Structure 1
Amino acid sequence: MGKLVIHLGPPKTATTSFQRFFSTNKINGIIYHGVHQPRVTSDTSLCAEIYNFTTSIIRDDEQLKNRIERLSFDDNCIHLFSEEMFLVGSRGLTWVDKLKQLRPVLENVQYEILIVIRNPEDAIRSLYQEIFFRVQDSGINDINTFAKSVHSEIYMYDLFVDKLEELGFENIKILDYMKLINNIYSLEEIFNVPVDIPLRLNLSNQSKRKNQTYYANNADLRMILRSKMLKCFGSILPSALNRKIYNYLPRMKLNHVKPLDVNIESEVLKPFDYSYAEILSKAI
């Protein structure tokens, strides 16, 4: 009987590198169904189907459950799924909402949940750089506000694991980010398959930094102009007009144009550090 392994991330824990490794390497005993990098808009994989199911209003869970059950009975392989978007709020849904929909799909199959934990200060800083321009609309203008927001709550690892268990998830396996990126784990250690080779990751999507100064990622002229426009006219212009003006702004990729203060206050960071220390002791 096969087993499903659901790798959830979270974001900024080498998820893209993890996905690239398994999408580009054929490994005996492991069949990869997860995200392929770079992402494509027309993803028709089973992983994409499961994710879309968790965010859809109209759901046919029996049909999807039958597909997954057939998959698990087909062979003795590990069927690996990887999608960090389960842990990212989107389409008006929180990560908890999505996981509530995911749990029943796994009802009658043998599965394991795989999560990677990283020093929360580094993870929060990296995510802040990644989505800095996207969170401007919600009034998040500094990293301490960001750390206290819903965007960072996933890095309160003890509460995250508690929520997984509360939702009924079992067999939660925790990996240490530092061991993962330093190629210390073997595939046999993680997946219990007789393949004694290291999981070698080539890191990507790393934080932009120059001369010890951190910069916002994914900067383009349109985002920067929109950010300025929202600060000046956000409460004056109707949102429809704001969007129309935004669509006419020019696109141009820019590097090292928005320096960020990424120092998190110790009082803000303290509960994250306690949480990290507690869960790190449970990592394999």
Structure 2
Amino acid sequence: MITGKLYLHIGPPKTAATSLQIAMQEADLPRLHYGGTFQPREDNVGSSAQTPHKASCGRLAAGDADVRSALDEIGEHLRGGNLILSEEMFLVEQHDNPFPEKLRRLGDLLSDIPTVVLVTLRDPREGLPSLYQELFNGLPLTEKLSFARFCRGPRARCYDYTFVHENLIQAAFRDIRGIEFHDLTAGEVPLSQVIGHDALTDAMLILRRANSGAKTGPDKRTLPPVSLKSIGGMRPVRASLDRTGLRGTALSRHAAATFDRIRLRPGDERQLRLPAHTAGRLDTCLAGARTRLQPMESPQ
């Protein structure tokens, strides 16, 4: 019989998730088992966190043996205590897989498991420039050339806390709690500030700085150069290469190498500020989340 809860931390990315994951895997907490994500990520293969994420991406079906095994493992932990998983990739758009769809699949997968969703609350004015810097090399050319366009695109929606909350509700998650980003960067934090008032111990988590991007000032981020090669990542170009059978051929590789030498913008330190309208809207979303998602006693 399941008596415990699954605490599921979903990010967003660039909100000290890696620091929290390292702290959790190093902590010894009574009746609270940590099932991943493990750092470094090569140690995360087959973890209780990895398999649900693969299923949320549609890479594993609900009836797959690995999924059944992961659910059995989660259930076993919840028969003797509580379990916490952390995976910020649940809020990352991947391979044309929007994160609302990932949350919907995740909700279906965990429908029989008492789940508390943990969302870290960070000022988008700080979080989005950091996320932009991390994703930069894989962005479409239009977003590489315009941070404002990135902020209006789907990859930035993980910092629209109203949108995140609405999609969690639509995925049938009801117990959704907020963690303040500044708590995760303070060096140490009580467990109760991570999972809420029903923490069974007053233990402290020790958090170390990890996976932070290069920053040269309050608004400046170091970004790599942009070359004409980025055109190859645009959807129409990829589709054309697929239709003609040129993808991966010697000709396409030669063209990519040639285009990579043609620079549209040099690598530089760039000031990344959210457009005023976007910043104002996301500020309102963050303020609303701080009202709705404060840690609280779970409903009886």
Output the TM-score relative to the length of structure 1: 0.83
Contact 1:180 1:199 in 2 (8 A): no
User: What is the DSSP-based 3-state SS (H/G/I as helix, E as strand, rest coil) of the residue aligned with 1:103?
Assistant: helix
Query: Cα 1:67–1:212, aligned 2, differ >3 Å: closer, same or farther?
Result: closer
* Offset at residue 30 of structure 1 (A): 1.5
Query: Cα 1:166–1:141, aligned 2, differ >3 Å: closer, same or farther?
Result: same
Question: Which residue of structure 1 lines up, in the alignment, with residue 277 of structure 2?
Answer: 267
Say whether residues 1:230 and 2:239 are aligned partners.
no
Say whether residues 1:278 and 2:288 are aligned partners.
yes
Query: Cα 1:133–1:88, aligned 2, differ >3 Å: closer, same or farther?
Result: same
User: What is the DSSP-based 3-state SS (H/G/I as helix, E as strand, rest coil) of the residue aligned with 1:277?
Assistant: helix
1:76 equivalent among 72, 76, 80: 80
Question: Which residue of structure 2 lines up, in the alignment, with residue 197 of structure 1?
Answer: 203
Question: Which residue of structure 2 lines up, in the alignment, with residue 215 of structure 1?
Answer: 221
Question: Which residue of structure 2 lines up, in the alignment, with residue 146 of structure 1?
Answer: 150
Distance in 1 between the 2:42 and 2:257 partners?
22
Query: Cα 1:114–1:61, aligned 2, differ >3 Å: closer, same or farther?
Result: farther
* Offset at residue 58 of structure 1 (A): 5.4
Say whether residues 1:28 and 2:34 are aligned partners.
no
1:118 equivalent among 101, 119, 122: 122
Say whether residues 1:164 and 2:168 are aligned partners.
yes
**Which stretch of structure 1 is more off in the superposition, 29-38 or 183-192?**
183-192
Say whether residues 1:186 and 2:185 are aligned partners.
no
Question: Which residue of structure 2 lines up, in the alignment, with residue 59 of structure 1?
Answer: 61
Q: How does 1:246-265 map to 2 (within 5 A)?
A: 246=256, 257-265=267-275
Query: Cα 1:268–1:80, aligned 2, differ >3 Å: closer, same or farther?
Result: same
Aligned length: 272
Contact 1:114 1:173 in 2 (8 A): yes
* Offset at residue 70 of structure 1 (A): 5.9
* Offset at residue 136 of structure 1 (A): 3.7
Unaligned runs of at least 5 residues, structure 2: 242-246, 261-265, 296-300
Distance in 2 between the 1:233 and 1:93 partners?
20
* Offset at residue 46 of structure 1 (A): 2.2
Output the TM-score relative to the length of structure 2: 0.79
Q: Which amino acid aligns with 1:39?
A: R
Query: Cα 1:142–1:41, aligned 2, differ >3 Å: closer, same or farther?
Result: farther
Q: RMSD between aligned alpha carbons?
A: 3.1
Distance in 1 between the 2:218 and 2:111 partners?
48
